[in-house]
């Protein structure tokens, strides 16, 4: 198979060959969700499983993108106020972080929460990231543990910052308008030695009707929904906080959002073609937060074990409610400017949302006292 990157390397060549073999074994076509899974998570080769750096503030570091904890420790320190309240309210003393990245958020939470946390468990499939996390968290090595699978039951407060957007999505493409258009599942084939899009008719549909006479491309999120249900099956007491970019259902499937939300990130540049530079760049999709909330609320669980939605709001409202502004005032000017990006509408403040769920008796969580948008899910 020919290389499909502009910089052929042994890593991308091996990963491309691996994916091409998977396509061949599947009869010449795989859904995009399977392609995204292989591109990101193939052991030793996928983007999150290889040794290349990912997280950093500048492209000169070799990194591809920056997340809030790398930007400023005020993010984790402010989130810790809400996590501390949740630990107290649920009577638990363990934090479970999914997709801990560089380990920066874990360090900020552990430093801020102190003795309120007896154990901090990181669930991460990436061996290279785990090594980086271990090096950063040596001061808390007695508390921090790593697992690559959940136990049958557990209790505590779950944290997931930019983890849902990295879960593989299915692509649905409507050819034609709302009246007579035909829905297809968009997948990947190999044509003339390179990866290419290939659509197949499908019975799958977005959760709501999408008006308009135009072609339409979008995503559905069965893997992320299944992840929420898995947590529901196993968490016996506690809460969960997910921070990510995305929308509620009505905004996600707006007729004008006809090109979908799949994006790639490399060297702090974004593009919309996941079929090239495979293994060298991140692939993400925005989160449908309505689907996440419904996956929790509609899950059939024993009496008293069901999820409750604690709140849903923008990152700006959440962080301001949790006390970010007084912390910013104590920073030098450059520190305040960086922290302001967390809450500015045209930066991360509006696009990023926070969804909170709980098991047990719900309460008025402090992060949602102003600006709660649960009614808009």
* Each residue's pLDDT tens digit, 199-220: 999 999 999 999 999 999 999 9
Has residue 57 been placed in a domain? no
* Each residue's pLDDT tens digit, 70-103: 999 999 999 999 999 999 999 999 999 999 999 9
pLDDT mean across residues, the chain: 93
* Each residue's pLDDT tens digit, 13-41: 899 999 999 999 999 999 999 999 999 99
* Distance (Å, whole) CA 11 – CA 347: 34
**Cβ distance 282 to 265 under 8 Å?**
yes
pLDDT of residue 11: 53
Has residue 300 been placed in a domain? yes
- Global pTM value: 0.94
Each as own residue / partner, the long-range contacts of residues 43-50 (CB below 8 Å, 24 or more positions apart, any chain) are 45/11, 45/14, 45/15, 45/18, 45/279, 46/15, 46/279, 47/279, 47/280, 47/281, 47/282, 47/283, 48/125, 48/126, 48/129, 48/166, 49/125, 49/126, 49/127, 49/128, 50/11, 50/128, 50/279
pLDDT of residue 127: 74
Identify the weakest region by mean pLDDT among 33-37, 40-44, 255-259, 309-313. 40-44
**Cβ distance 108 to 69 under 8 Å?**
yes
What are the structure tokens assigned to 56, written together? 């950093």
Has residue 361 been placed in a domain? yes
- When pLDDT is averaged across residues 176-198 and rounded to a whole number, the result is 95
pLDDT of residue 27: 98
Has residue 123 been placed in a domain? yes
- When pLDDT is averaged across residues 302-310 and rounded to a whole number, the result is 93
- Interior angle at CA 318, CA 245 and CA 110, nearest 5: 90
Has residue 189 been placed in a domain? no
- When pLDDT is averaged across residues 113-138 and rounded to a whole number, the result is 92
pLDDT of residue 334: 95
Has residue 55 been placed in a domain? no
* Each residue's pLDDT tens digit, 141-185: 999 999 989 999 999 999 999 999 999 999 999 999 999 999 999
Give phi and psi for 259, each to the nearest 5: -105, 5
* Distance (Å, whole) CA 183 – CA 203: 7
Does residue 5 register a pLDDT over 50? no
Q: Residue 146 is part of a domain; what is its CATH number?
A: 3.40.50.12710
For residue 305, the enclosing domain spans 72-167+221-259+281-376
Report the percentage of the chain scoring pLDDT > 90: 87
pLDDT of residue 51: 81
Does residue 3 register a pLDDT over 50? no
Does residue 243 register a pLDDT over 90? yes
pLDDT of residue 336: 96
Has residue 267 been placed in a domain? no
Has residue 338 been placed in a domain? yes
How many domains does one find in the chain?
1
């Amino acid at each position: 198979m020919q290389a499909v990157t502009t910089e052929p390397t042994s890593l991308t060549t091996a990963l491309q060959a691996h994916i091409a073999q998977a396509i061949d074994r599947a009869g010449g076509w795989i859904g995009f969700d399977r392609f995204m899974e292989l591109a990101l998570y193939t052991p030793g080769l996928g983007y999150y499983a290889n040794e290349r750096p990912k997280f950093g503030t500048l492209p000169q570091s070799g990194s591809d993108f920056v997340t809030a904890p790398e930007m400023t420790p005020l993010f984790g320190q402010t989130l810790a106020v809400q996590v501390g309240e949740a630990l107290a309210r649920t009577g638990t003393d363990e934090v479970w972080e999914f997709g801990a990245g560089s380990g920066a958020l874990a360090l900020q939470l552990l430093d801020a929460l102190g003795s309120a946390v007896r154990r901090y468990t990181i669930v991460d499939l990436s061996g290279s990231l785990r090594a980086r996390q271990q090096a950063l968290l040596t001061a808390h090595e007695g508390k921090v543990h790593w697992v690559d699978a959940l136990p049958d039951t557990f209790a505590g407060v779950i944290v997931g910052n930019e983890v849902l957007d990295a879960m593989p999505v299915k692509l649905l493409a409507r050819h034609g308008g709302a009246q007579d258009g035909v829905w297809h599942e968009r997948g990947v084939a190999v044509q003339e030695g390179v990866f290419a899009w290939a659509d197949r008719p499908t019975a799958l549909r977005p959760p709501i009707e999408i008006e308009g006479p135009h072609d339409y491309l979008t995503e559905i999120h069965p893997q992320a929904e299944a992840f929420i249900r898995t947590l529901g099956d196993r968490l016996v007491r506690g809460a969960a906080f997910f921070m990510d970019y995305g929308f509620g259902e009505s905004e996600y499937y707006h007729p004008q959002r006809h090109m979908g939300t799949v994006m790639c990130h490399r060297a702090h540049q974004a593009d919309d073609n996941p079929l090239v530079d495979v293994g060298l760049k991140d692939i993400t999709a925005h989160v449908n937060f309505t689907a996440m909330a419904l996956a929790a609320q509609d899950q059939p669980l024993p009496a008293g074990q069901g999820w409750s939605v604690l709140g849903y709001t923008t990152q700006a409202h959440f962080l301001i409610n949790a006390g970010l502004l007084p912390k910013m005032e104590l920073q030098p000017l450059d520190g305040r400017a960086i922290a302001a990006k967390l809450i500015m509408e045209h930066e991360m403040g509006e696009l990023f949302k926070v969804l909170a769920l709980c098991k047990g008796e719900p309460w008025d969580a402090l992060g949602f006292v102003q600006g709660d948008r649960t009614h808009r899910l």
